Amino acid sequence: MLTPFDTSKLWIGGEWVPSSDGRTLPIENPSSGLTVGAIGRASRDDVDAAVTAAERALNGPWGALTAFERGRLLSRLSNLVLAHTELLTELEVADVGKPVSQARADVVALARYLEFYAGAADKLHGQTIPFLADYTVYTLREPHGVTAHIIPWNYPMQIMGRSVVGALAAGNAVVVKPAEQASLTSLAFGWLSQQAGFPAGAINIVPGVGAEAGATLSGHPSIGHVSFTGSFDVGVQIQSAAARHAVPVTLELGGKSPQILFDDADLETALPVLVRAGLQNAGQTCSASSRILVHRRVHDHVVEAMSSIYRTLRVGPASADLDLGPLISATQKIRVERHLDAARATGAKQVATGRIVDEAPEGGHYVAPQLYTHVNPREPLAQEEIFGPVQVVLPFDEEEEAVRLANGTPYGLVAGVWTRDAGRQHRLVRQLKAGQVFLNDYGAAGGVELPFGGTGHSGHGREKGFEALYGFTKLKTVAARHR
Ligand code: ADP
* 365 vs 221: CA distance, rounded Å: 39
- Is residue 286 annotated as part of the catalytic site, yes or no? yes
* 269 vs 302: CA distance, rounded Å: 12
User: In the predicted model, what is the mean pLDDT of residues 461-466?
Assistant: 97
Q: Which CATH number fits domain 10-253: 3.40.50.12140, 3.40.50.720, 1.20.1260.10, 3.40.605.10?
A: 3.40.605.10
Is 258-445 assigned to CATH 3.40.309.10? yes
Residue minimizing CA distance to atom 26 of ligand 1 = 214
Rounded to the nearest angstrom, the distance between the alpha carbon of 415 and the centre of ligand 1 is 25
Q: State yes or no: pLDDT of 359 exceeds 90.
A: yes
Res 422: pLDDT? 97
Point out the catalytic residue in the list 212, 252, 385, 463: 252
pLDDT tier at 1 (50, 70, 90 boundaries)?
A: confident
Rounded to the nearest angstrom, the distance between the alpha carbon of 465 and the centre of ligand 1 is 25
CA distances from 391 to 27, 48, 352 (A): 30, 42, 10
Q: Which residues pair with 442 in a beta bridge?
A: none
Half-sphere exposure of residue 115: CA atoms within 13 angstroms, side-chain side: 12
**One-letter amino acid for residue 246 of the chain:** A
Instruction: Report CA 123 to chain centroid distance, whole Å.
Output: 25
* 254 vs 232: CA distance, rounded Å: 7
Phi, psi of 407 (to 5 degrees): -85, 0
Mutate to test the pocket of ligand 1, among 28, 47, 150 (most ligand atoms within 8 A of CB): 150
User: In the predicted model, what is the mean pLDDT of residues 329-334?
Assistant: 98
Mutate to test the pocket of ligand 1, among 25, 187, 226, 234 (most ligand atoms within 8 A of CB): 234
Q: Which three-class secondary structure state does DSSP give residue 396? A: strand
User: In the predicted model, what is the mean pLDDT of residues 262-278?
Assistant: 97
Q: How many CB atoms lie within 10 A of CB 374?
A: 15
User: In the predicted model, what is the mean pLDDT of residues 244-266?
Assistant: 98
Sign (positive/negative) of CA torsion 255, 261, 262, 264?
positive
- Enumerate the CATH 3.40.605.10 domain ranges in the chain, comma separated: 10-253
Closest CA to 447 of 461, 457, 437: 437
- Closest ligand 1 atom number to CA of residue 233: 6
Cβ atoms of 365 and 333 within 8 Å: the answer is yes
Count of all residues that appear for the chain in the document: 483
Percent residues over pLDDT 90 in the chain: 99
Q: State yes or no: pLDDT of 446 exceeds 80.
A: no
Res 2: pLDDT? 84
Residues whose CB falls within 8 Å of the CB of residue 35, separated by 6 or more in sequence, listed in order: 26, 27, 28, 29
Q: What is the tens place of the pLDDT at every residue in 424-433? A: 999 999 999 9
Rounded to the nearest angstrom, the distance between the alpha carbon of 179 and the centre of ligand 1 is 7
Q: What is the tens place of the pLDDT at every residue in 375-389? A: 999 999 999 999 999
Residue minimizing CA distance to atom 14 of ligand 1 = 179
Res 74: pLDDT? 98
**One-letter amino acid for residue 178 of the chain:** P
Rounded to the nearest angstrom, the distance between the alpha carbon of 380 and the centre of ligand 1 is 22
pLDDT tier at 444 (50, 70, 90 boundaries)?
A: low
pTM exceeding 0.95? yes
Q: What is the tens place of the pLDDT at every residue in 218-236? A: 999 999 999 999 999 999 9
Percent residues over pLDDT 70 in the chain: 100
Q: State yes or no: pLDDT of 457 exceeds 90.
A: yes
Q: State yes or no: pLDDT of 463 exceeds 90.
A: yes
* 193 vs 252: CA distance, rounded Å: 26
* 297 vs 89: CA distance, rounded Å: 44
User: In the predicted model, what is the mean pLDDT of residues 68-84?
Assistant: 98
Q: How many CB atoms lie within 10 A of CB 333?
A: 18
Q: What is the tens place of the pLDDT at every residue in 15-70? A: 999 999 999 999 999 999 999 999 999 999 999 999 999 999 999 999 999 999 99
Point out the catalytic residue in the list 90, 115, 286, 463: 286
Q: N- to C-terminal Cα distance for the chain?
A: 68
- Enumerate the CATH 3.40.309.10 domain ranges in the chain, comma separated: 258-445
Lining residues, ligand 1, CB within 6 Å:
150-152, 177, 179-180, 210-211, 214-215, 218, 230-231, 234, 237-238
Indicate the Cα dihedral angle 150, 153, 156, 161, nearest 10°: -40
Q: How many CB atoms lie within 10 A of CB 86?
A: 10
Q: How many CB atoms lie within 10 A of CB 180?
A: 20
* 313 vs 309: CA distance, rounded Å: 7
Rounded to the nearest angstrom, the distance between the alpha carbon of 31 and the centre of ligand 1 is 22
Q: State yes or no: pLDDT of 445 exceeds 70.
A: no
Residue minimizing CA distance to atom 27 of ligand 1 = 210
